[in-house]
Every structure is written in C-alpha cells, then in structure tokens.
Amino acid sequence: MTSLRLPQFQTASLPTALAFPVFMIAIFTAPRLLQAADTEFTTGSADPLINYINEQIRQGWEDNEVTPSSVADDAEWLRRAYLDLTGHIPPADKVRDFLEDKDSAKRTKLIDELIDHPDYVRNFTEVWTNLLIGRNTPDRTSRVGMRKFLRESFARNRPWNDVVYDMVTAEGHFEENGAVNFILAQLQGNPNTEEYHVEATARLTRIFLGMQVQCTQCHNHPFNEWKQNQFWEFNSFLRQARRIDHDRYDPESGQNVDDYSELSFRDYDGPVYYEMRNGLVQVAYPTYFGAEVAPKAENRREELGKLMCYDDDQHTVARAYVNRMWGHFFGYGFTRPVDDMGPHNPASHPDLLDRLTDEFVKSGYDTKQLARWICNSEAYNLTSQFNKGNDFDNPAAGEVPLFSHMYVKSMQAEQLYDSLIIATNAHKSGASGYDAAEQQRERWLRDYLRIFGGEEGDEVTSFTGSIPQALLMMNGPLVQNAIDAEKGSYLYSVLTDPGYRTDAMRAQALFVSALGRIPSRYETSQISKQMKGGDRLAFFQDLYWALLNSNEFLLVH
C-alpha cells in the first residue's frame, strides 16, 4: 500500500461525515457525576511539603463540606501532565508504556522525566513569551530574542528572581540580549510623552508582582489600597528606559528598512508629575512599597530590580509566580484574577500560598521544584469528573476554587497544534523529506495561531469553539492530511503495520493516539456495529476524524 486517500471534506459533505460518529463527537461533553473514593493517595514522592499541600487542600474540603472526586486513572492523568508540562499530548508508545507500568511511584517518576524533557523548556518558553510580549509581536520587537533568553533560562533552570531581574534591568540589542524585549514591547509611541512608559509600568507590576496598579493611573482605586501615587512611583523607575530603532539601506528597494532595535539608558533624574482628578498636580519619586530610592540614582531600573528580586522581605515576585503557576496547572490560581493580589482580593488558601512562597524562596526560586510540588499534590491528581458532594465547586460560575476535582481547560493554540502533530504525524504525510515536512508544519502553525490565538496569554484558555475554529478543525489541511492516510502519517502506519492484526486493534491504536486511552466496552461495541460492511478505509478515516474533533481531544481534563 503506497497511498490511502479520502477525497477532501467540503462543507457540503460534512453532515455525511458527522453522521457516522455522532456518539464520538460527544465523548467528553462535560465532567460527569462520579462516586467519591476514600483511598489513600500518593504519587510515590517522599517530599514532606506535598503532605502539607494535601493537608491544606483537604482542610478546605472539610471546612466547606466538600466530598473530593476520585483520583484520576492513569490515562487521564498522563494526558493532563503531558499537556501542562510539555505542551502536547503523550505519544501513543508512551501511553502504552505508562498504562502497563505497575510501579507505584510511576507518577512522580514521570513528572521528573517530563520536567527534564526538552519539550518542558519549549513549552514554558512559549507560555512566557506569549505572556510577556503577546502572540502578536509588537513592532520593532524580537520574538526570536525573547524566546532565546527564556529558552536558555528554563533550560538552565535559572532562579526566577534572576530571570526577572534581567528583564527589569536589561539594556542592549534586541537579539544579542533578548531580555530587553519585555520592556521594548511596551515602549511604543513618542518617547517625550507621559504615555510612553505607562504600558511598561502596568505590565511589569501585573506580571511580576501580581498587582493591577494600572487601574490607579488616573485616580485612587475605589475598592483596594492601591493609590494613584503608587502607579506613578513605579512609573518613575522606568523613565530612564528608551528604545532606539535602527534602519539600514536596502539596495534592492532603494529605501531604508527596519534593521534592529535596542533598549538604551537616557538621563532622567527628576520626579514624575501627574494630575489628580481634582486638577491638582502632584509629584512622584521612585518608591517601592515604601522603600525610597534617591531621585538622582544612577540607574533606577537597577535599583528597582534589586528591590523586587533580592531585597523584598514580602517576596512579592515569588508569591506572584507561585500563584500564576498554580493557575497554570489548575486553570485557576489562589486569587481571581491570578494577577490581582492584595488585601482587597484574599487568596482561597492563604496559608498554603504563604508556605509555597516561602519554600519557593528557600529552594532558590527553583521553577522546576515548584512544578514538582504542584504536580505531585493530591488535588492535581484528581479526576475532572465531579460527584454530588462537589458539583458546586465551580470557579467558572464565580465560586471560590476548592480544587476538589480538576477543572476542565481548553487547549491553547500551540497545545492544540502540537497535539495534532503528535497524534497524527500529519506534517510528514506525503512530504518528500524533513525540510518539506518542517515547512508544511510552519505554514499550518500560522493558521492555528491566527484563528485560535489571541493577543494576550489570558488566564482563560483560547479555544472557544467559534465557527472559524470549528471549520479549521473539521476541514483544515492539517486534519485532512491526517486522515488522508498518506505514507508517513500515523493512520498509514496503523493500517499497514502487521502488528495490528485485527480491525479492533487498529481502532484501539487510534484511540490511544488521539485520546490517550483504551476505548470503553460501549465504544468498542458501537465501533463494531459501524464497521460492518462498507468501505474499510473510509471507516477508519471517519473514526480518526471524529476522535480528533471530539471534545475529549480538545479539552485538558
């Protein structure tokens, strides 16, 4: 067999394709009611801090009379851990190995394996690039430089406070020193206006300190303790930063074109003037939570970096990172939103947040260790299916998160794209070589980022089920290549591998590849009924299409 082809789906033919696997499309429509289990749980980790995490979360269940869900089975948990740590679903061979492994400590070992995997670095590089500069790269900002800086930082597991210090204080060429791109991305417009440093002030405090002081730019906040002067005190730290854009002459066009940008130092030793709502003009000097810096300080950003990352007894940078990473793994942080922390917005589990912050600092701001603690916790290992005793634990409805079951998340654009590639090898289907396959992959990725991606890396994930998204999934070139069964695709390998001796084994292989689990008895019986008669190739193509378009594939659960 050299080629297995199904004509491309057109919009008019979709009802026919959909009619076959209706039961498949709704495989995972919503978390289901499940009876709770009281069995003692452990991933196999002996770290005493994990016991503390479990005790604190369990205390919240007891205080709120919540019955937690059961521990997720291995297939559900494995898929979740891969998506959260590496940014894609597990390959089929890893699923089989994990499900067959009888080691009681296999979960904690898998966590260590994924944290040391190159895809962990790639995943968190992408997560933080989107968070720091957005998916739509601002003008005269280097996404390449930003990624390079973050990739090296996560690969070396640099202390998070050092990483933040570099981004706050960096100067230079936007690719030679990629750390400058965080502030460069926010400095747009006329450098001689008051607005020039406003966005940089808002982003820096929100992302690194978990404070939404941008609300106080024009007036004191009516609901929290942030005052107008505090915004401008932070703003004054950044007044010595300025972007310089360099052009070069292009002999082909005969015009100057963009060459590179740099973040440079400019003299500024005065106060910042701002106007209050009553019309009075006030002054603000560089002050960090009451710690004043001399207005004529040689480099205000260096002073800010030291205060934030090394001299803050409250460990605000550490607290903000812990909260954000808890939100990364659970879908919700200890506060809502995850970047609005303070007395006005109490944490759901304040003692746990305090302890995790302290331990994170003691660890040397070790980002990998924090991920281990969270992923080894009992709460992270629970199923997303709820029971009658915790169905009200629903932060999406405005409730305080109790983490009594895993909250369902939609995939980010990058997660969805990379998971489709892992499941199907679609970018290699019909490709003549490595270079052609990679070029095809880049073209498709641009489509997914355009249709699925947003400008912000928000707390809520980006798949919304819009019509353009649905059409791209159902009828897009990537999925079409996957089900065309060209040589090189996963479907081709399943249909031609003599190791899959029966059609039932082939169907099971597609389930493992797409959903990371073995089909249930009910699903197997339905597949057997559908398989009788008709075109065998068309059946497997329709089955795979249905699995890839099911809610169970599109959700992180």
pLDDT tens digits, one per residue of 448-477: 677 765 544 443 334 566 767 777 777 777
Tell me the C-alpha to C-alpha distance, in Å, between residue 286 and each of 120, 203, 302: 38, 17, 12
By three-state DSSP, how is residue 172 classified? Answer: strand
Instruction: Report how far residue 18's alpha carbon sits from residue 251's, in angstroms, rounded to the nearest whole number.
Output: 55
Question: Residue 444: in which H helix or E strand, if any?
Answer: helix 434-452
Contact 456, 421 (CB under 8 A): no
Long-range contacts of 17-23 (CB under 8 A, 24+ apart): 17/542, 17/545, 20/530, 20/539, 20/542, 20/543, 20/546, 21/530, 21/542, 21/543, 21/545, 21/546, 23/523, 23/526
Query: Using CA atoms in the order 520, 41, 81, 44, what is the torsion angle rounded to 10 degrees?
Result: -120
Q: Is-cis flag, bond preceding 271, omega within 30?
A: no
Q: What are the pLDDT tens digits along the chain (557 aa)? A: 333 332 222 222 333 333 344 344 444 444 444 544 445 788 999 899 999 999 999 999 999 999 999 999 999 999 999 999 999 999 999 999 999 999 999 999 999 999 999 999 999 999 999 999 998 889 999 999 999 999 999 999 999 999 999 999 999 999 999 999 999 999 988 888 888 999 999 999 999 999 986 555 444 444 555 566 888 899 999 999 999 999 998 888 888 989 999 999 999 988 888 777 767 878 889 999 989 998 788 899 999 999 999 999 999 999 999 999 999 999 999 999 999 998 889 999 999 999 999 999 999 999 999 999 999 999 999 999 999 999 999 999 999 999 999 999 988 888 988 898 898 876 665 555 546 655 666 666 677 677 765 544 443 334 566 767 777 777 777 788 778 878 888 898 999 999 999 999 999 999 999 999 999 999 999 888 888 777 888 999 999 999 999 999 989 99
What pLDDT is attached to residue 436? 62
User: Which one, of 420, 419, 421, 423, lies nearest residue 494 by Cα?
Assistant: 423
* Chain position carrying tokens 């597990």: 90
Which are the contacts of 336, defined by CB distance < 8 A and separation ≥ 6? Answer: 345, 395, 401, 459
User: Which one, of 480, 528, 534, lies nearest residue 507 by Cα?
Assistant: 528
User: Which one, of 93, 102, 110, 164, lies nearest residue 367 by Cα?
Assistant: 164
What pLDDT is attached to residue 188? 81
DSSP, residue by residue, 490-501: HHHHHHH-TT--
User: Angle 547-550-554 (CA atoms, 0-180°, nearest 5)?
Assistant: 110
DSSP, residue by residue, 234-290: HHHHTTTEEEEEEEEEETTTTEEEEEEEEEEE----SPEEEE-TTS-EEEE--EETT
pLDDT tens digits, one per residue of 196-239: 999 999 999 999 999 986 555 444 444 555 566 888 899 999 99
Query: Tokens for 294?
Result: 């001399």
323: exposed, middle or buried (C-beta count within 10 Å: 0-12, 13-18, 19+)?
buried
Question: Residue 409: in which H helix or E strand, if any?
Answer: strand 409-410
Instruction: Report how far residue 418's alpha carbon sits from residue 414's, in angstroms, rounded to the nearest whole number.
Output: 6
Instruction: Report how far residue 345's alpha carbon sits from residue 341's, in angstroms, rounded to the nearest whole number.
Output: 6
What pLDDT is attached to residue 435? 61
Query: Tokens for 77?
Result: 């948990």
What pLDDT is attached to residue 460? 35
* Chain position carrying tokens 């280097």: 142
Instruction: Report how far residue 322's alpha carbon sits from residue 352's, in angstroms, rounded to the nearest whole number.
Output: 10
What pLDDT is attached to residue 37? 45
- The type of residue at 399 is E
By three-state DSSP, how is residue 18 classified? Answer: helix
Instruction: Report how far residue 455's alpha carbon sits from residue 138's, in angstroms, rounded to the nearest whole number.
Output: 10
Instruction: Report how far residue 89's alpha carbon sits from residue 556's, in angstroms, rounded to the nearest whole number.
Output: 9
Query: DSSP code of 116?
Result: T
Query: Tokens for 183?
Result: 């502030």
